[in-house]
Structure formats: structure tokens, C-alpha cells
């Protein structure tokens, strides 16, 4: 299973907000700069996240984005599902609407796909943004969120 660029960048944006929202709403331009993403592309991602109520936006000169809930209450699984839809390594074992398959009742490999879906969902749902913030602070790596000279965290 391969996650889309949208999902990876969306997760990076969410971690960025979680790391930096202590200073107030995070401007889109600040996230884009720290993540090395175009503002236009990031704006599309933030629209998905706002529509699904994972972030909220604040208008005005001091505006930007904030998490809609505490980082401890937002899982990686929620974010992945915003961009990818239900977890489904193959269509016949999708979380929400498994597609019918004429071989479902005799399919030996369906057990593999079902267990794989369960494990993927379990891992993604067990990791919160707070876990990623803590990991970022612990690692302090230049490739992961790290404290910059201006006191903000970047990824």
C-alpha cells in the first residue's frame, strides 16, 4: 500500500500546526515555507482538513490555522482517511463499503487482506499528533520537525 503525496504532505502540515500553534493561528505561508510546499497546493490540503473539521481557520491579519481538537485527540488514521478514504489494501475488504466479489466466500487470500487492513488501521489509529510532536522534539533531527532559531518548529 502506497500513501499519496497529499496524505504525506497533509500529515506534515498537521504536525507543523501541532508543533507551532502555541503561538496562535499558523499562517498558511509559514507552514508552506517550513514544509517547502507551494501555498496553492497546501491551501487545497487545508481545505480538506477544514471540511473534515480537523483544523479551523482564523481570518484576519493574525489569522491562520489551528487544530480543531487537541493533538492527543487526532490520530494519524483520521488524517490518512481524509485524503485516502477508508483503509482498503484491496476493495473487497474496505473498512466501510467492501465491494462485492463473486469469489468472497471461497477466496483463501481474503483472510490476508482482511488482517492486513486491520493491522494498518490499528497502527494508524494508535498514533496521535501528540505522539508525533513528542517524537519530533525527542529527535530534533533536521529531517523531522525541529526547533528553529526563531522558536518555531519545522519539518
Over residues 4-51, the pLDDT tens digits come to 999 999 999 999 999 999 999 999 999 999 999 999 999 999 999 999
Q: State the sign of the Cα–Cα–Cα–Cα dihedral 36, 39, 45, 47.
A: positive
Identify the CA nearest to 65 among candidates 48, 83, 45, 50.
50
Q: Are residues 3 and 51 in the same domain?
A: yes
Residues 24, 84 within the same domain? no
Give the C-alpha separation, 28 to 126, whole Å.
28
- State the pLDDT confidence band at 97, using cuts at 50, 70 and 90: low
Q: Residue 89 corresponds to which cell in the numbers above?
A: 489494501
How many domains is the chain built from? Answer: 2
Is there a single domain that holds both residue 67 and residue 79? no
Biggest CA-to-CA distance, the chain: 61
Q: Give dist(CA 117, CA 123) in Å, integer.
A: 10
Residues 5, 61 within the same domain: yes
Better-scored residue on pLDDT, 145 or 110: 110
Mean pLDDT of 143-151: 49
Whether the per-residue pLDDT at 143 is higher than 90: the answer is no
pLDDT at 146: 47
pLDDT band at 154 (very low <50, low <70, confident <90, very high): low
**Full-model pTM:** 0.84
**145 and 97 belong to one structural domain:** no
Q: Which residues contact residue 48 at a Cβ distance below 8 angstroms, ignoring those fewer than 6 apart? A: 6, 10, 82, 83
Domain limits for position 123:
75-127
Considering the domain architecture, whether residues 99 and 23 belong to the same structural domain is answered as no
For residues 119 and 139, state if they share a domain: no
Q: Are both 83 and 151 inside the same structural domain?
A: no
Say yes or no: 123 and 55 in one domain.
no
Residues 133 and 58 in one domain: yes
Q: CB count, 10 Å around CB of 16?
A: 25
Quote the mean pLDDT of the chain.
87
- Distance, in Å, from the CA atom of 13 to the CA atom of 3, rounded to the nearest integer, reads 15
pLDDT grade for 102, boundaries at 50, 70 and 90: confident
- With 50 as the cut, is the pLDDT of residue 127 above it? yes
Higher pLDDT, 89 or 57: 57
Amino acid at each position: 500500500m502506497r500513501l499519496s503525496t497529499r496524505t504525506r504532505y497533509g500529515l506534515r502540515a498537521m504536525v507543523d500546526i501541532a508543533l507551532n500553534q502555541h503561538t496562535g493561528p499558523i499562517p498558511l505561508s509559514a507552514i508552506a515555507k517550513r514544509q517547502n510546499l507551494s501555498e496553492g497546493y497546501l491551501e487545497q490540503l487545508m481545505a480538506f482538513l477544514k471540511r473534515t473539521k480537523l483544523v479551523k481557520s482564523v481570518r484576519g491579519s493574525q489569522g491562520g490555522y489551528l487544530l480543531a481538537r487537541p493533538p492527543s485527540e487526532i490520530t494519524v488514521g483520521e488524517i490518512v482517511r481524509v485524503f485516502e478514504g477508508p483503509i482498503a489494501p484491496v476493495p473487497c475488504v474496505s473498512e466501510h463499503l467492501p465491494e462485492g466479489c463473486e469469489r468472497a466466500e471461497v477466496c483463501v487470500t481474503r483472510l490476508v487482506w482482511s488482517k492486513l487492513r486491520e493491522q494498518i488501521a490499528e497502527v494508524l489509529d494508535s498514533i496521535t499528533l501528540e505522539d508525533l510532536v513528542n517524537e519530533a522534539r525527542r529527535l530534533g533531527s533536521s529531517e523531522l520537525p525541529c526547533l528553529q532559531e526563531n522558536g518555531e518548529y519545522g519539518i
